[in-house]
Amino acid sequence: MKVAIYCRLSEEDRNKSNAADDSASILNQKSMLLQYAISQDWEVYNIYSDDDYTGADRNRPEFQRLLEDAKNRKFDIILCKTQSRFTRELELVEKYIHGLFPQWGIRFVSIVDHADTDIKGNKKSRQINGLVNEWYLEDMSENIRSVLKNRRQNGLHIGATALYGYQKDPEQKGHLIIDEEAAKVVREVFLLFSQGYGKSTIARMLNDRGIPNPSEYKRQKGISPPKHKNSTLWKYSAISSMLANEMYIGNMVQGKYGSVSYKTKKNKPRPKEQWYRVEGTHEPIIDLALWNKVQAMREQKAKPFTVGTIGLFSKKAHCAECGYILRSGKRGDWRYLTCPNRSVSKNACKGAFISVDRLERKIIDELKRLSAEYLDQDELERNITCSNHYENQKTQIRETITAYEKKIQEYTTAIRELYMDKVKGILTESDYLDLSKAFTSEKNRLEQNLGYAKNQLTEIEMRKETGNQKKALIEKYMNMEHLTREMIDALIDHIDVGRRIPGTKDVPITIYWNF
């Protein structure tokens, strides 16, 4: 029998007061598990070890490698110190330990809490372990939220890195001090804008002088890596964000984004009234007079916006050179789309630039070409092949629905078994109520998610039906002289706009249709 050993150490383990605790050391975990494997006469296939990752992190690199190797049946057994070393999420316990591992022929064993999928009757204890671990995650998340909220309310900085222009005070945790090298650039940006220079012009001036933007500056200082292609360049958005950030006048503003759930690292924007704002927490880089002048100019330059309006090609047109979404612009009554990297530096992307009218005309001409080539000959179905995108989506959602239905059935059975255990006197009334309440709550959550998944499937079926009616769809729009946003959404997934062909006025475009 081949065994895969999995170890995990998180930050919470490092802070334990008892340094002799086995879980406080990866080496101790490995030693314990190796000795157990030898005692069982198992051959060690590999040791997978994640250092400084929580049990709720699904993207642990070695954890993902372990799952991939398990799927490919490279070993027979997964061995951990405890079930919580593998995961603290009940959902993953059900998905892998009780679902996929048995299908793949993989046995799961944890030493300390005696979890073993080869032992009949052991499943309930694994579920209880998973439930306890889930509660632990939720309680820990609430505790962390409470601590962070208190620190924010007291004006203490809690971010991983300081705002560009500042650095963390090595003498006082949660306090910011000025980083003079970056602060000079911040002052210059505010001064240039107050003198009438536009945001794109300021970005180009900084790029032409080789001044690194905030992410590149932090990378050079060893603080963080750049996130995107061309992220070394200053852009309109970076200048705009800087000019609106009152952190530069000494006020601590935090909590602009909040986590969706303790189970995910995804964040979503929070309403401004929910931000944490404390005045005078650190030394300002920008004096109040300059700040007020800049804010007045920003308000004066702000373009009026009508609620409900959206650009014809908003978020649909991309630069074929660098992949960025094209930004709209206006000169008098003439509207155009351009790559946001095009104007920020002479060495930046030399990609897309096209007028909205020309792009609209190209799309209308292409629609007419399609209708002339295919509709009259009734060859649309043979020549325009529907993407299997919808089929893939449907397959994934059907698998999700099946998994939810299976889990709901397992919880229904578990609740029934809990009741029988109470009747037999195996469980006390108090334990029964606690466990059944938790199981019922999780079952209700799964049923709600099942409803969402079924609604998604219905929506995809409707979209596919629209896609299957390609002929009718093109016929509906083939005689249009102008496009509307509704037409763009119905017909087009996205558009790649290329660089103008030298010596001509031709701009190549590639249209990715929804059919």
Residues 448, 445: Cα–Cα separation, whole Å: 5
Q: Which of 100, 134, 150 is the last residue of a domain?
A: 150
Residue 514 confidence class, pLDDT cut points 50, 70, 90: confident
pLDDT above 70 (res 477): no
* Per-residue pLDDT tens digits for 394-433: 777 888 888 888 888 888 888 888 777 777 777 787 777 8
- Domain final position from 150, 169, 184: 150
Domain membership of residue 488 (yes or no) is: no
Q: For 100-122, how does the pLDDT look when each residue is reduced to its tens digit (9 = 90+)?
A: 998 899 999 988 877 888 887 66
**What percentage of the chain reaches a pLDDT higher than 70?**
76
Confidence band for 183, pLDDT divided at 50, 70 and 90: very high
At 22, which CATH number? 3.40.50.1390
Is residue 71 domain-resident? Answer: yes
Higher pLDDT, 263 or 161: 161
Q: Taking Cα atoms as reference points, which of 144, 190, 142 lies closest to residue 165?
A: 190
In a domain, 418, yes or no: yes
Structural domain contains residue 205: yes
**Segments of 279-404 assigned E as strands:** 317-319, 327-331, 334-338, 353-355
Distance CA 109, CA 116 (A): 4
Helix%, strand%, coil% for the chain, nearest 5? 50, 15, 35
Give pLDDT tens digits for 38-73. Answer: 888 999 999 998 887 776 678 889 999 999 999 999
In a domain, 66, yes or no: yes
| pLDDT of 515 strictly over 70 | no
Q: Does residue 126 share a domain with residue 28?
A: yes
> Taking 80 as the threshold, does the pLDDT of residue 25 lie above it?
no
CA angle 236, 179, 341 (to 5 degrees): 20
Average pLDDT over residues 19-45: 77
Give pLDDT, residue 263.
53
Phi/psi region, residue 448 (left: phi>0; alpha: psi -120 to 50; beta: rest), is: alpha
pLDDT of 475 above 50: yes
Asked if pLDDT for residue 359 goes beyond 80, the answer is yes
Q: What is the pLDDT of residues 259-283, one digit of tens each?
A: 655 455 566 777 888 888 899 999 9
- Shared-domain flag, residues 252 and 173: yes
Same domain? 180 vs 99: no
How much is the pLDDT for 428? 80
Same domain? For 52 and 128 the reply is yes
For residue 318, tell me if it sits in a domain. no
Same domain, 198 and 294: yes
- Mean pLDDT confidence for 318-335: 81
Q: Is the model more confident about 90 or about 305?
A: 90
DSSP per residue over 134-186, as a string?
A: HHHHHHHHHHHHHHHHHHHHTT---SSSPPTTEEE-TTSTT-EEE-HHHHHHH
Lowest mean pLDDT among 43-47, 242-246, 397-401, 435-439: 435-439
Question: What pLDDT band is residue 305 in, cutting at 50, 70 and 90?
Answer: very low
> Which among 301, 316, 340 is the end of a domain?
301
Per the model's pLDDT, the better-predicted residue between 140 and 185 turns out to be 185
Res. 368 pLDDT band, cuts 50 70 90: confident
**Can you give the pLDDT at residue 403?**
84
Cα→Cα distances 433→90, 104, 229, 418, 422, Å: 19, 35, 54, 9, 10
Name the token pair of 95: 């998905």
Dist CA 495 CA 488 (whole Å)? 10
Torsion over CA: 64, 65, 71, 76 (sign): negative
Closest CA to 204 of 328, 316, 341, 394: 341
Average pLDDT, the chain: 78
Q: Which two tokens stand for residue 159?
A: 């971010």
Verify that 142 and 236 share a domain, yes or no.
no
Q: What is the 3-state secondary structure (H, E, C) of 256-312?
A: CEEECCCCCCCEEECCHHHCEEECCCCCCCCCHHHHHHHHHHHHHHCCCCCCCCCCC
Predicted confidence (pLDDT) at residue 436 exceeds the cutoff of 50: yes
Q: What is the mean pLDDT of residues 446-455?
A: 80
DSSP element (H, E) containing 50 = strand 43-51
Residue closest to 83 by CA, chosen among 172, 165, 17, 23: 23
224 in any annotated domain: yes
pLDDT exceeds 60 at position 18: no
Residues 474-501, mean pLDDT to the nearest whole number:
76
Q: 104 and 185: one domain?
A: no
Confidence (pLDDT) at 22: 41
> Is 257 found in the same domain as 215?
yes
Residue span of the structural domain in which 218 resides: 154-301
Residue with the larger pLDDT of the pair 120 and 172: 172
Cα atoms found within 13 Å of the Cα of residue 271, Cβ hemisphere only: 2
Domain with residue 264: its CATH number is 3.90.1750.20
pLDDT tier at 88, thresholds 50, 70, 90: confident
The answer on 212 and 113 residing in a single domain is: no
* 98 and 192, same domain (yes or no): no
pLDDT of residue 191: 92
- Give the pLDDT confidence of 195-204 residue by residue, as tens digits: 888 888 898 8
* pLDDT higher than 70, residue 125: no
**Lowest mean pLDDT, pick from 149-153, 344-348, 479-483:** 344-348
Q: What is the CA radius of gyration of the chain?
A: 29
d(CA 236, CA 352): 17
Long-range contacts of the stretch 170-177 (C-beta < 8 A, 24+): 175/281, 175/282, 176/252, 176/281, 176/282, 177/282, 177/283
Q: 88 with 182, same domain?
A: no
Return the closest-CA partner of residue 258 out of 274, 280, 282, 243: 274
Work out the pLDDT band at 306, boundaries 50, 70, 90. Answer: very low
User: Does residue 31 lie in a domain region?
Assistant: yes
Overall number of domains in the chain: 3
Assess whether 393 and 292 both reside in one domain.
Answer: no
Strand partners, 49: 7
- pLDDT at position 245 is 93
Length of the chain: 515
Cβ atoms of residues 155 and 278 within 8 Å? yes
The pLDDT of residue 335 is above 60: yes
Bridge partner residues of 116 (DSSP): 109
